[in-house]
Amino acid sequence: MNTLKIIYVPIFLAVLASCGSNNDSKEKSQYYKKQETQTQQLELSIEASGIIEAISSVEIKSKASGEILFLGADVGDFVEKGAMLGQIDQRTPTNILDQSESDLDAAKVRLENAEAQYNRGKALHENASISDKDFEDIQENFAQAKSTLVRTEVSFENAKIALDDTVVRSPISGTIISRPVEVGQVISSPTSAVGGGTLLMTMADLSKVRVRALVDEIDVGKVSIGQTVSIKVAAYRDKEFLV
């Protein structure tokens, strides 16, 4: 947004009046008027156009890839932290979660059987009813069953996370300043795409903004830290903001 930026630079001008000495001639003193020294304040201003921008902004991307089924905000909308901004197709993550849950149940059953075989084999080994080699095989089978259970548990948890990632939520409270996608578009996630994934939205906290303006080279010397700045915005032509 273009802005009109006026910077006031206070300058103090001392006007010194010259007066003749007692030894000046009467003829010469007629050309001067005696006046006390006064201090006056003059204000000079410069103008510059620029833009108003957010101090910080956040890019919103989906951790899941797929078709966009829902978008919960448009440009200009204010959203609270945690609000639902989008929904990605859940069919593939749901199928993966169901398969992971089935694998987990099977791994639990295998571990129970392996543990039962281990207990029987241990008792038989202590009675010398089976060889050392047979008991070692039973121990190895038990250890593998425990390892398989751990892997399937991790896969199941990852599948739940992947399903949760199909819902995009706002990380902060702020205003949507851009939304380059539409419902029905197929997007990629940052973890699966080389380019960093598809940008869904950009949002910013507009409670604090800054003005970026270009000051002419001849006016740079008139600008210093701490000066009062008057800002006029095209959207509010009748208002003047002093900062």
Q: Report how far residue 191's alpha carbon sits from residue 89's, in angstroms, rounded to the nearest whole number.
A: 17
Asked if residue 25 lies in contact with residue 231, where contact means CB atoms within 8 angstroms, the answer is no
Average pLDDT over residues 226-233: 87
Q: Which amino acid is it at 126?
A: E
**32 falls in which pLDDT band (50, 70, 90)?**
low
Q: Which of 101-105, 129-133, 152-156, 232-236 has the lowest mean pLDDT?
A: 232-236
Is residue 84 within 8 A of residue 105, CB to CB? The reply is no
Q: List the one residue out of 185, 230, 240, 171 whose CA is nearest residue 7.
A: 230
pLDDT at position 17 is: 41
Identify the structural domains of the chain with CATH numbers, from first to last: 1-24+36-55+209-243 (no CATH), 57-87+166-207 (2.40.50.100), 91-164 (1.10.287.470)
Distance CA 26, CA 32 (A): 11
Q: Taking the CA atoms of the chain, what radius of gyration do you get in angstroms? A: 39
- How high is the pLDDT of residue 193? 64
> Is 236 in a helix, a strand, or coil?
strand
Predicted confidence at residue 46, as pLDDT, reads 85
Lowest-pLDDT choice from 22-26, 79-83, 199-203, 219-223: 22-26
Q: What is the pLDDT of residue 7?
A: 45
Output the CA torsion 60→64→66→67 (10° steps): -40
The whole-number pLDDT of residue 4 equals 44
Mean pLDDT of 67-91: 96
Instruction: Please state, in angstroms and rounded to a whole number, the distance separating the CA atoms of residues 143 and 118.
Output: 10
What does the mean pLDDT of the chain come to? 86
Regarding predicted confidence, which is higher, 148 or 221?
148
Q: What's this model's pTM, rounded to 2 decimal places?
A: 0.68
pLDDT at position 33 is 67
Structure tokens at 215: 């000051």
Neighbours of 209 (CB within 10 A): 13
Quote the CA–CA distance of 4 and 111 in Å, as a whole number: 74
Residues with Cβ within 8 Å of 1's Cβ and at least 6 positions away in sequence, in order, are: 51, 52, 233, 234, 235
pLDDT at 93 over 50: yes
User: Tens of pLDDT along 167-213?
Assistant: 999 999 999 999 999 999 999 998 876 678 999 999 999 888 888 88
Amino acid letter for position 129: S
Q: What is the largest CA-CA distance in the chain?
A: 143
The pLDDT > 90 percentage for the chain reads: 56
Out of 12-21, 132-141, 232-241, least confident range: 12-21
With both helix axes pointing from N to C terminus, report the angle between 91-126 and 132-164 in degrees, rounded to the nearest 10: 160
